[in-house]
Every structure is written in C-alpha cells, then in structure tokens.
Chains A and B, each alone.
Chain A
C-alpha cells in the first residue's frame, strides 16, 4: 500500500480483518500439528482437545464475516480494498474448512486405536504421515503469509507446491493399499489412515485456493491456468 486512507478508521478496520485471518491461520496450523501428534503418540486426550479447539476457529470465522460485511456496508471499499475484503471473507471460510479437516483427523485417533484391537500392532506407514502433514501445514502458513505480505509471487509458489503434496498422497495411498492386501486384519485401521492422508491432501488443495485468492486480491486478475497445476488435478 502506498499510503494510508484519509479516513484512519478504515485502515484500522482492514488491519483488524487481516489480524483475524492471521490468527485463524495460526490456530489451523496448530490444529493440524496437534492432531498429527495425537495420532503418532497416540494421545486420545490431545485429540479430544483439538476437536474442542475447533470452535475457536469457527468463532473467528463468524467475526470475520461480521466485520467484512460491516466494512462493505459502511466504507464502500473500492479496488484493492474491495478485493482484499472479499478475499478475507473467502479465505476465512476456507481456513475454517482446513480446521475441520484437522478436527476430522483428531476424531480418527480413538477409532484407529479401537481398530487396533489392543493388539499393539501399530503399522509403519503412520510414520510417513507426519512429513506429509508438515508439508500441508507449510502450504497453509505460506498461503497466509502471502496474504499478509500481499505477495502474488509467493502465492504462485504455494500453488506450485501442491503437486509435491499430491505425489506424497499417491505414494502413501499405494503403500496403504499394499498393507491392506498383505494383511487384511489391518483394513479398518488402514482405512482410517487413508482418510487421514486424504484429509491432508485436501488441506493442500484448500491452501491452494487461499493462494489463488491472495493472488487475485494482490493483482486484480485471476491466476493463469498454467499456474494452477495440471488438468488431472481434480480426479484424485
């Protein structure tokens, strides 16, 4: 931004909106990390806390909605301001969804333990999932950092990084299917892990959506198709 608004309260409103988006993003990252920690240990109590904490993300989303509507009604934002308010509104909804995926992972922690029949047979692919989770979480953080910095190039990089996450998902998918084939007794447990991997893959897709909105808010144009990944992206 080249300079402040003549009406200072406008800057305060926009600043508050941006602050809430950052806060939501931070909570969503924490939720992903803690859900994965609960899965790896396993720690059902931590998983329960992740599920409860999701309400805080939902509450901020509602706040963002209220403030964005108020800004549109009272300040009639134009051009870059308008794009930013609309982007914030949409990004808040997406981050809320990311929180839901983390919550869904946490929900599976006790189910996976139950499926394990108390048999102490924790399967090895669980060790791959934390790396995938870190990659997904990095995408979320980078997308929101790009929003904070109004950085269109950083947003393009986030979109590009989604391919690596998708490859990761494909590889975990194959590994888990192999497990199920080799040892049918692990099927119900592995099916849950498959969903965990899928949730992480979806978190990456949502981070990609955030990045596309950041790009639009910063430049006023939609990201070019060639920057959005291959045509087969949606059939996974």
Chain B
C-alpha cells in the first residue's frame, strides 16, 4: 500500500540550531501513528512539517521532502491554505474561534467553498459535530459561543472544525494534555472512530495514551527518529535501548 504521507530525509533548523535530523517516515492511511519522546525531542516540530505549520516561524528552515499522495508539499506551486485543509490540525490547548458553535464549524467549509446553500452548510455542520461526538451535547445551543463550552467539548469542537473541511489527514499535537480523564477518554474514543476515515498522527506525552490509541509508534530523541514500529512491539519489546529506557521510565 502506498503511504498517505511519505517524509524523506527531513531536517529542520531554527536559525543555526538543528531540531530534526534526517528523519524519514511513512504515514499510513488506515492507521493512527503516535509520536512520543521527551520534551524538546522534535516530535512536535516534525508534526508541524507535515502541513507546513513551521512556515509561520520566521527562522525555521526545512530540508528534505514530504510527499502527500506522492506530491511534494514544499513544492513552489503548493497552495498552503489548501494543504492545511487536506492536512488538518488540532492543538494542545483548545482554540475555538470567539464565535458561535455553528460558526466555528461552518467557517472552514464556507471559505473553502465546500457548501454555500444554508441547508448544505447545516448538514455539514451537523455531520461534523456528529463525527466529533459533540452533536448531542450542543444541538440545542448551536448559537452559543464556542468558548462557553467545557475544555473537553471545546477540543471536540476543534476536531469538528478540522473535520468540516473534509481533510485527508488529521494532525493532533497533545490534544488531551489540558483535559480531564473523562474528556480524554472521549477524545480517544473519537480517535478510534475516526481511524480509517482519516490518517491520524498524534503527538503525546502520555505513553499510555499512545499505547491505547495508536497502531504505530515513533520514538524521537534529540531530533532523531530512534525507533518506529508497531505500537504493540514498541511497548512490549522495543529494539533500541533508548526507546526502552524512555518507555520504562529510566530516561535521564
């Protein structure tokens, strides 16, 4: 099977400092891929190369290539706005727009021209909120502000917002670290349901979470990809000493 995303020989520099050191990895369509590693290991930086989020950092420079369905996303003709619709992102801190729940979800499809008629937009908002597991909780108050929701609901609203533009890949950067265990469980259940429909890459500090939600795990350390393999192998029988020391709590 051809990978959804194929990253080849990626290095990232912030000014003179090298944050990612020649990393190559494939993202499958049907799997959830987890990035783990200690703070500063480069996992978030690498995640952000996958939809060119690092473009927003002036000093950042990326070398190597990232192919989305075989197409280099760093090629000069690439429409970055379009790219970020295809490769959506959910951040650590829920960041809904200071607008209504409805508008949070409808905004993306509207600017991308995915739905213009009010009825189509309504249907798309409902479908997205349903897929994000939030519809039943908010269907009677769609005009309330998105920022009035609980943290866990806000995060699911952000996922609904990402889903609404019909992405192919969803990148999640520590999506549960600001949430309580119940809200976390809901997000994890959601990730499980979204698997297969979207390729999902998640960065997490919580190794139990990586073990629970992903089928593949990549361990980063000091900007290098140390080990990449089936999650069940990484957590029961890692090949590399550095991986073992990290996941068993012997790091540092």
Residues of A within 8 A of B (CB): 1-7, 10, 76-83, 220-221
Contacts and interface: CB of A to CB of B under 8 A. Distances in A.
B250 A82 contact: no
A131 B245 CA distance: 45
Contacts of A5: 248-250
B208 interface: yes
A38 to B, nearest CB: 44
Most buried by A among B235, B236, B247, B248: B248
Contact of A6 (B235, B236, B238, B251): B251
B250 A78 contact: no
A24 B160 CA distance: 56
A205 B252 CA distance: 42
A78 B247 CA distance: 6
Chief secondary structure at chain B's binding surface: helix
B251 A79 contact: no
Contact of B241 (A2, A7, A83): A2
Contacts of A76: 208
A69 to B, nearest CB: 17
Given A76-B208, A79-B244, A80-B244, A4 B250 contact: yes
25 contacts: A1-B250, A2-B250, A3-B245, A3-B250, A4-B250, A5-B248, A5-B249, A5-B250, A6-B249, A7-B249, A10-B249, A77-B248, A78-B236, A78-B247, A78-B248, A79-B235, A79-B236, A79-B238, A79-B248, A80-B244, A81-B248, A82-B236, A83-B236, A220-B237, A221-B237
Given A76-B208, A78-B247, A6 B252 contact: yes
A60 B235 CA distance: 29
Contacts of B241: 2
Q: How large is the interface on B (under 10, 10 to 19, 20 to 34, 35 or more residues)?
A: 10 to 19
Contacts of A1: 250
A2 B245 CA distance: 8
A2 B248 CA distance: 11
A223 to B, nearest CB: 14
Given A78-B207, A79-B248, A80-B248, 11 more contacts: A1-B250, A3-B245, A4-B250, A6-B250, A10-B249, A77-B248, A79-B236, A79-B238, A80-B244, A83-B236, A83-B237
B208 A79 contact: no
A224 to B, nearest CB: 15
Interface of B: 207-208, 211, 235-238, 241, 243-245, 247-252
Nearest to A75: B249
Nearest to A3: B250
A78 B248 CA distance: 5
Contacts of A77: 248
Most buried by B among A6, A7, A10: A6
Nearest to B207: A78
Contacts of B244: 79-80
Contacts of A6: 249-252
The 9 closest A-B pairs by CB, nearest first: A220-B237, A78-B247, A5-B249, A81-B248, A78-B248, A3-B250, A79-B244, A79-B248, A6-B249
